Amino acid sequence: MNESKGQAMLLTVILLSGVVLASTSLAGLLILYQLRQATDAKDSMRAIFAADAGLEWAFYNETRATPQAYPHVINLSDGAKVTITYDSNDSLPIKVVGQYGRVARAFQANSPVGGESKFDVMFVLDRSGSIIDTELALVKAAANAFIDTIVPSLTGSHVGLVSFATDATLDQHLTDNGAAVKVSIDAMSNKNRGQTNLSQAIDLADGEFNNLHTIHERPEVKDVMIVVTDGDPNQNKPGDTRTARIAAALEADEARLADIEIYVVGIGVTPSTEAFLKTDIADDVAHYYPIADFSGLEDILEAIAEAILSTREVGP
């Protein structure tokens, strides 16, 4: 009997020891994991700082009378490494990669001088019956100001125009002729006081980006669509929003599958319409711009132009 009790006690001690060892090992692994996370976070910040320093060097280099050749590598005093390359065929030609340890961070940017931004931009502008003459005039002024900011050119950005009411029309193919785009913008009319066929408008703009129009579309250049509207789509009859929303969302999803970036400006829309435009038409919340009335449209389009042309982080 005593021997059995002793064996049972021994077994209990062994089991408890195993649990303690396992817990200790797990705690040790968790501590190592947390240390690794902390190290990676610090390394990530150093990599970002390195990339930012490299970007400053690249901007300075571009302003020099005789820029240094690319690729260019800089080894920083803290052990970080920066690699700067330049691809003239990319819409954001400068790429900077900062690396520290096993972590790398990258940025891309436009050249501050001596280079041009390369984007194909399609305006999709609402001219439906809810937009009165004075408001349409503000749309035209804002769109024309956007053209002045983008500055279309043969080797730089190209711009086109789709406008929509009951029917959508392709008013201007993608072109490097900014003056021609402005003529098309100024020719927009709301005299028919039509409905809001957003799905057909997105489809027409998407079609302009595809390879069927090789004299207009440039496959190697980033495609951007800018939708400006003041209300819900209702392509069949006034108030028929459910079917129209579904159709427009499907067209926007199809455009995104073709790697088309979609910005949306919602002017004085209801909360329900804003949720639809933000969630189903724009790429994401950052691509949706709400304004109360048409007087603020020029500033919003200026902000979108800056967003399109600005530096962006391109991933880990």
Task: Establish if 150 belongs to a structural domain.
Answer: yes
**How would you list the strands of the sheet with 81-86, edge to edge?**
72-75, 81-86, 94-100, 103-109, 312-315
162/261 same-domain check: yes
Per-residue confidence (pLDDT) for residue 241, from 0 to 100: 84
- Domain end: 90, 109, 128, which one? 109
- Domain end: 86, 109, 132, which one? 109
Per-residue confidence (pLDDT) for residue 131, from 0 to 100: 94
Per-residue confidence (pLDDT) for residue 211, from 0 to 100: 62
128/158 same-domain check: yes
205/145 same-domain check: yes
- For the chain, 316 residues long, the average pLDDT of each consecutive 10-residue run is 49 45 44 47 77 82 73 91 86 85 82 66 95 96 96 92 95 96 96 87 94 73 95 72 92 96 97 96 95 96 87 47
Per-residue confidence (pLDDT) for residue 36, from 0 to 100: 47
CATH number at residue 233: 3.40.50.410
Per-residue confidence (pLDDT) for residue 30, from 0 to 100: 42
89/217 same-domain check: no
236/102 same-domain check: no
Provide the domain count of the chain.
2
Domain of residue 89: give its range: 43-109
51/148 same-domain check: no
